[in-house]
Chain A
Amino acid sequence: MAEKRRSGSAAEPKAVKAESDEEFLCQAGVGSQLRAALLKLVEARPEDPIGFLAEHFTNEASETESVGGGDAGDGDGDALEEQQMNKALWHLRLAHHSQRSAFNNNIRVAYDLLSRCGSARRVPGGVQGRLYTEMLRCVCSDSGLLDAAAATLLHHLQCHDYEAVPFELFRQAVLTCTSFSEYIRRARCLYAAVACPSDRPAERGLCDAVLNALREALDTSHGPDASRYLEASAKISPTELARAMAETRGASREREGPGMDMREFEDAAAGLFLARVRVVH
């Protein structure tokens, strides 16, 4: 980069007259490019602002270059679609879903990007079902879910290729996928905590106690949201879990009970979550 800058004005001097700096910037559209970038930056507030800008400008550049290349012929459609998909996924990764307003914002950006895709085959009123399912699949595989669990979730959420997906469904589905990944990550941590000497599988009795607590927490389904959250978090608080585990320990005195491996625990935990995901159809 720096060398490039140093290499002097070897390039043929184009018809750049004594043009003032402002005129030049204005003509080249630099002002609007920078304004757009800054707005995006402030909107997304990424953790790594410089990486964000690098990615943003790279996206923009490859977009203008591809538009300049072939004028939106149908052959370019797939490449363009893939590009839009990558951009959409990138936006979804910018903020953690617990930063709810930022995350919702990014979902909106992703939704707009995808609904502009494939103008020839465009469905009015939303993102194509095909793109929607494809994107959810990418979100799931990005976050390190096991294939089986991801497949079940996608089966619940997917819709037909020809359908148009409205924003609210899109948002809910993305949120479900990211929450599910987070939930599975937490479940793995739980298992690791239960399987105390980490080289042996955890005791089945203890795992069952933890899974039970988890089920009860997920079953708090009455009352307004805020109080449900409080109730649920009280039910899986560390003390509550410790109490449940201590009880099991007290009931069965023998030290070496049957074990449960990580995979089985994860599947059971995933099952609890998946049973509560509403099927789209």
Chain B
Amino acid sequence: MRMNADRFTVSAEEYLAESSALFYLNDAVTQLLEHREEFIQFGIGRYFAEYFTSVKNGSHILFREFSYVKGTAHNRTSFIHIFWKCFRQIGKNRDLLTMMEYTSLLQLLCPDFPAEMLQNTAKIVLMEDAVDCPMSLSDFIYSFQIQFYFEEFLESVLVIYEDLLEGKNPNAVIVPTSESPETISSEETDVQEGVDSSVLLKCIEGLCERFKHKHPPLPAIKEALESCTRVSYYGFLMALAKHEGISQEIGALPNRSDLLIDPEMDQELERLVAQVAISPTSNSSSSAQGLKEPCRKPSPRKSLHQRKRIEMESDGSTEETDSSEN
């Protein structure tokens, strides 16, 4: 998280609000109160030091509740990054997973991660139909990133979009804030036709002002909308997901071409695989097929091509996966 140079010209309150320091201090104290016996022994000063070090490193969001994970921009970035680190191997194996399967992977990291967010992500990848289709990791993760990182902004864009579809005058539209879920659920309107990109862009420009900087950079939005004259909501989101500039701005994922490249982790894996191959209990054929994870997922999962391997051990909370079999 980087603050810019005008941090010296704003008031102390504004600086604090921008830094989300209070959010973290609040959470740190709450955690402290919940586990006070433990942390008294640990040393309270040391506890705060560890807490903020983990926030800095981005490991603080692991296994935390969803409201915390989405609480700050830094938390969202950290979560996307950790998801990528943990499940990168799926992409390397060219496995395709369904939305439900991605949901259970996410829930390994954040137990109450809402499935709804994944439905929206699947709509971006699959252009709103056939949301049960399997998706590649790279298609999924960039769309997920847009959906998760800019959730509130995109909800407001959807409201605008639907108003435009109904032919309302966009300038007269008073857009409700993100806390109005009932307006968002009306998705059965005919989105195939789409709306005029330039009109949508005008409305989004106004929206961006209200969102301060919690929106994708305007030049990137322009680029995404300029490519064609009419655009559907999910087409627009797809263009955002594919925009490398936006991804760089978020800073959680490498460029698409580098998504599966991580020589350090590959080496570590190879080392582990070699260990497993040497040990007498292992199946000797495993090394012939290239990289294999040392640990298999214990829970029953439908495998789309042959097998599914992930780097993390399951905590068993993935029963929902089975419902994706059809």
Residues of A that sit less than 8 Å from B by CB? 1-7, 9-14, 16, 21, 24-25, 28-30, 33-34, 37-38, 41-42, 45-51, 53-54, 56-58, 60-61, 64-65, 99, 101-102
Contacts and interface: CB of A to CB of B under 8 A. Distances in A.
Given A9-B35, A16-B37, A33-B48, A42 B12 contact: yes
A50 B15 contact: no
- Chain A CB within 10 Å, residue with most, of B15, B29, B52: B52
B24 A47 contact: no
Interface stretch (B56-64, B91-99, B216-224, B234-242): B56-64
Given A1-B59, A30-B29, A61-B43, A49 B21 contact: yes
B45 A33 contact: yes
Contact of A21 (B5, B33, B59): B33
A37 B25 CA distance: 10
Q: How large is the interface on B (under 10, 10 to 19, 20 to 34, 35 or more residues)?
A: 35 or more
A4 B12 CA distance: 34
B19 to A, nearest CB: 4
B16 A57 contact: no
Contacts of B35: 5, 9
Contact of B29 (A14, A16, A25, A53): A25
A64 B16 CA distance: 27
A14 B41 CA distance: 9
Nearest to B51: A1
A41 B54 CA distance: 18
B46 interface: yes
Chain B facing A: main interface SS:
helix
A53 B8 contact: no
B45 A34 contact: no
A65 B20 CA distance: 28
B62 A2 contact: yes
Contacts of B21: 38, 41, 49-50, 53
B59 A45 contact: no
B299 interface: no
A151 to B, nearest CB: 33
A14 B40 CA distance: 9
Nearest to B22: A38
Contacts of B250: none
Contact of B3 (A1, A4, A24, A47): A47
A11 B29 CA distance: 19
A67 B24 CA distance: 28
Given A11-B38, A38-B16, A45-B8, A5 B31 contact: yes
Contacts of B19: 41, 49-50
Contacts of B1: 48-50
28 contacts: A2-B64, A5-B31, A7-B38, A12-B37, A14-B37, A16-B36, A21-B33, A24-B36, A25-B29, A25-B33, A28-B40, A33-B48, A38-B25, A42-B15, A47-B3, A47-B7, A48-B3, A49-B19, A50-B1, A50-B20, A53-B48, A58-B53, A60-B49, A61-B49, A64-B43, A64-B45, A65-B46, A101-B8
B102 to A, nearest CB: 22
A33 B46 CA distance: 12
Nearest to A7: B38
B16 A1 contact: no
B291 interface: no
A61 B38 contact: no
B50 A1 contact: yes
B55 interface: yes
A51 B55 CA distance: 8
B1 to A, nearest CB: 6
Contacts of B46: 61, 65
B312 interface: no
B37 A13 contact: yes
A61 B51 CA distance: 12
